[in-house]
Amino acid sequence: MVSKTQTLKDLEDALENGASDTGTIQKFLRMVRELRVRRSELVSQHGAKLLNSRLLGEEERWLVHEQVCVAALDCQDLEVAVQCLKKLKAKFPTSIRVGRLRGMALEAQGKWEEALVHYEKLLAESPANANIMKRKVAVERARGNTHKAIEALNEYLDSFMSDVDAWAELGDLYVENLMYKQAAFCFEELITAAPHNYLNHLKYAEVLYTMGGAENVRNSRKYFSAAVDLTGGDSLRALYGLWTATSAIKALKGPKDPEDESPLGDLASKQIVALYKAGCPAKAKIVEACVEDR
**DSSP code for 53:** S
Q: Summarize pLDDT for 172-190 with one digit per residue, the tens.
A: 999 999 999 999 999 999 9
Domain count of the fold of the chain: 3
189 plus 287 within the same structural domain: yes
- The angle at the Cα of 69, spanning 155 to 153, to the nearest 5 degrees, equals 10
Average pLDDT estimate for 254-261: 74
**Is the pTM above the cut of 0.75?**
yes
What distance lies between CA 243 and its chain's CA centroid? Answer: 27
118 φ, ψ to 5°? -60, -45
208 plus 240 within the same structural domain: yes
Q: For residue 170, is it within any domain?
A: no
Q: For residue 179, is it within any domain?
A: no
Domain closes at, from 93, 123, 147: 93
25 plus 71 within the same structural domain: yes
Characterise 145 by phi-psi region: left (phi > 0), alpha (psi -120 to 50), beta (else): beta
106 plus 206 within the same structural domain: no
68 plus 152 within the same structural domain: no
User: Which secondary structure element, helix H or strand E, spans residue 157, and what is its range?
Assistant: helix 146-159
Average pLDDT estimate for 242-267: 84
Q: List, in order, residues 6 or more apart from 43 with CB less than 8 Å away.
A: 29, 32, 67, 68, 71
30-36: which pairs have CB atoms within 8 A and are 24 or more residues apart? 31/4, 31/7, 32/8, 32/67, 33/63, 33/67, 34/4, 35/4, 35/5, 35/8
Q: For residue 67, is it within any domain?
A: yes
pLDDT at position 294: 58
Domain closes at, from 39, 61, 93: 93
Q: Within a 10 A sphere around the Cβ of 263, how many other Cβ atoms?
A: 8
85 plus 103 within the same structural domain: no
DSSP-derived secondary structure for 224-269: HHHHHHHTTT--HHHHHHHHHHHHHHHT--SSPPGGGG-THHHHHH
44 plus 127 within the same structural domain: no
pLDDT at position 293: 59
Q: For residue 177, is it within any domain?
A: no
209 plus 289 within the same structural domain: yes
CATH number (domain holding residue 241): 1.25.40
Q: Are the C-beta atoms of residues 249 and 221 closer than 8 Å to each other?
A: yes
72 plus 39 within the same structural domain: yes
Residue 262 has pLDDT above 90, yes or no: no
Q: For residue 169, is it within any domain?
A: no
* Amino acid at residue number 63: L
Cα gap 275→95, rounded to integer Å = 54
Residue 97 has pLDDT above 70, yes or no: yes
Q: Are the C-beta atoms of residues 254 and 214 closer than 8 Å to each other?
A: yes
Q: Summarize pLDDT for 45-66 with one digit per residue, the tens.
A: 999 888 888 788 889 999 999 9
Domain closes at, from 40, 58, 93: 93
111 plus 99 within the same structural domain: yes
128 plus 65 within the same structural domain: no
What is the domain extent for residue 139? 94-160
Tell me the three state secondary structure of residue 6: helix
Q: For residue 140, is it within any domain?
A: yes
CATH number (domain holding residue 134): 1.25.40.10
Q: For residue 61, is it within any domain?
A: yes
* Amino acid at residue number 162: S
pLDDT at position 234: 95
Q: Are the C-beta atoms of residues 176 and 140 closer than 8 Å to each other?
A: no
* Amino acid at residue number 294: R
Q: For residue 134, is it within any domain?
A: yes
42 plus 143 within the same structural domain: no
